[in-house]
Amino acid sequence: MKDFAGKIAVITGGGTGMGRELARQLVAEGCNVAMCDVSAEAMAETKRLCEVEKLPQGLRITTHVADVSIEDHYKRFRDELIEQQATDKIHLLFNNAGIGGGGSLFTNTREQWERTFNICWGGVYLGVRTFLPLLVKADEAHIVNTSSVNGFWASVGLGVSHTAYSAAKFAVKGFTEAMINDLRLNAPHVKCSVVMPGHIGTSIVSNSRKVQNGADQLNVDELKQVRQRLQGQGIDVAKMSDADIQQLALDRARIFHDEAPTTAAAAAKIILDGVKADRWRILVGDDAHLLDERVRKTPEQAYTPEFYQDLVAATGWKVG
């Protein structure tokens, strides 16, 4: 697929981050966009940003409230799209929605763990299941599933568990790779790509708290976990109040967004260029390329303290 003009794209998680930037760049190329998110307000802002420049006549941008872990929401999204976009087919599916959380089997609840897994993996699976018939009806189509560097390296550092997100992203990577031949055998005009971003400047940290807790605040268990993590890093937390810990969490979310080596806009361009080049494997960010190289070179060392320390020195990562 060499250009997107006149095509119809579905984007999950279109309210913020890479989803928002994918929408903006696709619209700028003359592509119709149907996006979903759990936040109507965030999608309204994405749509406003898309419409800042005068849209080509007839171009359609539609927004649909949906939780991608719930199949009935997906079905409603599909039915609304068919009606509002006046179509029985789509050309592009970006399974982009994701959250963090539920990192530990020990210190997080089962509900937190499965919430993360069901959005990050289940949302991709249900997205493909729901929209595949519409993709097959198009003359050419492309599925883009967002995994992560955590789809080949299940860690963000020694001081924090990261099981739910990593397990989900490994599943997305394996699923997409398996789809390559499944599509070749059964729908050769439909292609697929797995996207593996490194540290991208998005609001996933704060958005994840909103989805998991209903507010951009740590709950009681998370406060305890942060205290333990800080203490493990040699920081004296005895005199720190809960308000101090909350502020540290807010600062971390800001730093994750503002000081990332790759912006969401740059990430979206890399993804779209990868689709145009028909690449099935799209690494996003210099840190993603570096980490991929190092894990492949020394897989047995990938979870040692030395590996992580060398990685931080090479990339400047401020996570974990």
Between 45 and 232, the more confident residue is: 45
H-helix or E-strand spanning residue 178: helix 163-186
Same domain as 168, residue 292? yes
pLDDT of residue 290: 96
Examine the pLDDT at 252 and tell me if it is beyond 90: no
Sign of the dihedral defined by the CA atoms of residues 232, 234, 240, 245, in that order: negative
Between 201 and 316, the more confident residue is: 316
Same domain as 298, residue 244? no
pLDDT of residue 254: 65
Once rounded to an integer, what is the mean pLDDT over residues 241-248?
75
Q: What is the pLDDT of residues 173-196, one digit of tens each?
A: 999 999 999 999 999 999 999 999
Cβ(123)–Cβ(71) under 8 Å?
no
Q: Kind of pairing, strands 141-146 and 32-37?
A: unpaired
Domain annotation covers residue 2? no
Looking at this protein, which amino acid is placed at residue 112?
Answer: Q
Same domain as 152, residue 39? yes
pLDDT of residue 241: 81
Cβ(135)–Cβ(89) under 8 Å?
yes
Once rounded to an integer, what is the mean pLDDT over residues 95-117?
93
CATH number at residue 36: 3.40.50.720
Q: Range of 306's domain?
A: 8-202+262-315
Same domain as 75, residue 48? yes
Q: Write down the pTM of the prediction.
A: 0.89
Same domain as 274, residue 250? no
Number of domains the chain contains? 2
Same domain as 237, residue 218? yes
